[in-house]
Amino acid sequence: MSSSTDRDITLIDELRALPAEAAWVEFKGNNTDPEMIGVRCSALSNAARIEGRDSAYMLWGIEDDSHAVTGTDFNPDMKKRGNQELPFWLARSLQPSIAFSFRMVEHPQGRVVLLEVPAATGAPVAFNGVPYIRIGSATPKLTDYPQRYQQLIERLQPYRWEQGMARQYVSGDEVLSLLDYSQYFRLTKQPLPDNRTGIFDKLEADRLIVRDVGERWNITNLGAILFATRLADFEAGLARKAVRVVAYAGKNRAATVTHRHDGQRGYAVGFEGLVDYLNGLLPRNEHIGTALRVVHPLFPELAIRELAANALIHQDMTVTGAGPQIELFSDRIEISNPGAPLVKPERMVDLPPRSRNEALAALMRRMGMCEEQGSGLDKVLEQVELFQLPAPLFRAEENSTQVVLYGPRGFADMTPEERVRACYFHAVLKFLSGDKMKNATLCTRLGIASKNAAQATAVINKALDAGLIRVADLDHPRAGYVPHWA
């Protein structure tokens, strides 16, 4: 017997053990009327959300009063509505579309058909344009019960990839094997409990696992992507979210690949190793001080760490077949992640970050893997200015976000666009610290000698023409400059 069949039998028996039907559970004998099923799908989905359930169920082959298994000859794949198969017709009749599933289960006491209906998420689920609700054994229109309607609206939740299931119906031993739980306790600075119950309670509290039927567990996408011992032990879509690092010998992708590494572990348990691996690949400059030879990295390590963490946190997990990628060239680093950014690239520094993966972001911050919310990119720009590097490039494409961090290059070797971008970000940093950009501060930022201050003036004028900065006080032009949105 497969694990999925075993789980369905256990689920059926737990539902049968309920004292009576619930708003999210309905037992049917052999009533297979398609219209009835459509109305019930809407009602059960909406009721499940109100009741705080992730799914609702309808079962055929279960006696309503005694909950005994009586068996059924209902085959949803053979049932038709007009000339359409029932599942196809039902999928077209429900709005918004929900991922319901019919499963035919050979229970030891007879054949049962199990219909699993996900709880409503973004909007009430309607059948042929009408949303229904389950009250007792009745399924009236939702709009006839405004109090229930309001309850549902308040509890509707958008789809969260993090709370999807990476692995269902696993034993406690499998949880402890699939997830590096000891690293979870170390990184969250919690003492490791001395018993399994304590371990599972903590993992459950952070929604890394959730209870399934039959004393089994489900591992959430959040738990797997952060703490998987091996991402390859989960489904292929999750494994492809691993971080890929590629290093080239030259300045473009036609150059020889010197290093290629695909991450094997969850983001949290593998992050320090990723950062160490990157630091080991980064070029370094040697400087001779007064007495000692000092080696400095070509790129600021703190900036690399923060940008790598950002790529993990802000990616669109629903983009299939793609994950974060870090590419090292001889003169720059490109860090990309799936999904267009939720804020405009030029406003990433000053606006509060918006993440598609709030639970993942919060847990990574709690574990100290990135800066507190809203301060990470500030630190990146501060490091870039400290190292006097060209301004980073934040680039949004249709299905990806990319950050390019450039290696050292003097003012004379910067492009006009790079100079204007450095001017804008310098004005942003000054404004965020309660100050204003001036010609002298931009000279320092770009490494321009004071005798050549006219070069900084020319850059400021181009930034003004581009609409990226403005004079802080029109009555006092020498007061300095601020970003255009300030």
Report pLDDT digits (tens) over 215-247: 999 999 999 999 999 999 998 889 999 999 999
Question: Which tens digits make up the pLDDT trace of 288-306?
Answer: 444 545 556 678 888 999 9
Confidence tier at 44 by pLDDT (50, 70, 90): very high
Mean pLDDT, to the nearest integer, of 372-401?
Answer: 84
**Residue 3: pLDDT above 80?**
no
- Residue by residue, DSSP assigns 95-135 as ES----EEEEEEETTEEEEEEEEEPP-SS--EETTEEB--B
Cβ pair 359, 160 in contact under 8 A: yes
Please report which helix (H) or strand (E) contains residue 26, including its range.
Answer: strand 25-28
Residue 261 tokens read as 């590494």
pLDDT for the residue 285: 62
442 burial (CB, 10 Å; 0-12 / 13-18 / 19+) is buried
- Residue by residue, DSSP assigns 380-440 as HHHHHHHTTPPPPEEEE-SSEEEEEEE----GGGS-HHHHHHHHHHHHHHHHHTT--B-HH
Question: Which tens digits make up the pLDDT trace of 448-469?
Answer: 998 999 999 999 999 999 999 9
Dmax over CA atoms of the chain, in Å, equals 94
β-sheet with 217-220: strand ranges across? 165-170, 217-220, 209-211
**Cα(60)–Cα(40) distance, rounded to whole angstroms?**
13
Which residues touch 272 (CB under 8 Å, ≥6 apart)? none
- Residue by residue, DSSP assigns 269-298 as HHHHHHHHHHHHHS-EEEEE-SSSEEEEES
The percent of residues in the chain predicted with pLDDT above 70, rounded, is: 95
**Cα(453)–Cα(466) distance, rounded to whole angstroms?**
20
> Domain spans of the chain?
3-159, 162-235, 244-406, 411-483
pTM for this entry = 0.85
Question: Which tens digits make up the pLDDT trace of 140-178?
Answer: 999 999 999 999 999 997 778 999 999 999 999 999 999
**Cα(374)–Cα(348) distance, rounded to whole angstroms?**
9
pLDDT for the residue 296: 61
The answer to whether the 3-159 and 244-406 domains have the same CATH topology is no
Please report which helix (H) or strand (E) contains residue 459, including its range.
Answer: helix 453-465
SS3 445: helix
Topology (CATH level 3) of domain 3-159: 3.30.950
Residue 205 tokens read as 């509290």
> Which residue in the block uniquely carries the two structure tokens 């292929």?
236
CATH architecture designation of domain 244-406: 2-Layer Sandwich (3.30)
**Cα(443)–Cα(411) distance, rounded to whole angstroms?**
10
β-sheet with 393-396: strand ranges across? 257-262, 244-248, 325-328, 332-338, 400-406, 393-396
